[in-house]
Amino acid sequence: DTGVSQNPRHKITKRGQNVTFRCDPISEHNRLYWYRQTLGQGPEFLTYFQNEAQLEKSRLLSDRFSAERPKGSFSTLEIQRTEQGDSAMYLCASSQPGQDRDTQYFGPGTRLTVL
């Protein structure tokens, strides 16, 4: 069990560029979550997958954001036409239903800076 991993750890981009982040969950976990954390705030829920199905999306997830989990393993979060307001830490978590009461375990996060 290597834990949840996220890549890259840091991303600096210019406004208007597209960025993509990757999350690899704990191997036996079939639920995967994305959260966004801005400076001085707690994380906010963005979306979650059960296997490859995206079951819920927050209204925070504008049409510039898209998340996928094509084979029910790793997930990607893409932001198109980035804006300065997208600067934040993007956190991924995974859990297993019925195990540990679906407790979510978090990765180290990807810090995005939009210039």
Q: Based on CB atoms, which residue is closest to other proteins, 33 or 65?
A: 33
- The strand order across the sheet containing 5-7 reads 5-7, 19-24, 75-79, 65-68
The count of other CB atoms within 10 Å of the CB of residue 91 is 22
Phi-psi region of 34 (alpha: psi -120 to 50; beta: other; left: phi over 0): beta
Cα 58 from chain centre: 12
Quick one: which of 5, 25, 11, 3 has its CA closest to 78? 11
| Contacts to other proteins from residues 6-65, by CB under 8 A | 6, 31, 33, 35, 40-45, 48, 56
Alpha carbon distance 95, 91 (integer Å): 14
Q: In this chain, which stretch among 14-22, 62-70, 78-86, 87-95 interacts with other proteins, using CB under 8 A?
A: 87-95
Among the listed residues 8, 17, 18, 102, the single contact to other proteins using CB under 8 A: 102
CB of 73 to other proteins, least distance (A): 19
Applying CB under 8 A, which part among 12-20, 69-77, 78-86, 91-99 lies near other proteins?
Answer: 91-99
Per CB under 8 A, the list member of 108, 113, 114, 115 interacting with other proteins is 108
Query: Which residue ranges make up the site for other proteins (CB under 8 A)?
Result: 4, 6, 31, 33, 35, 40-45, 48, 56, 91, 93, 95, 101-109, 111
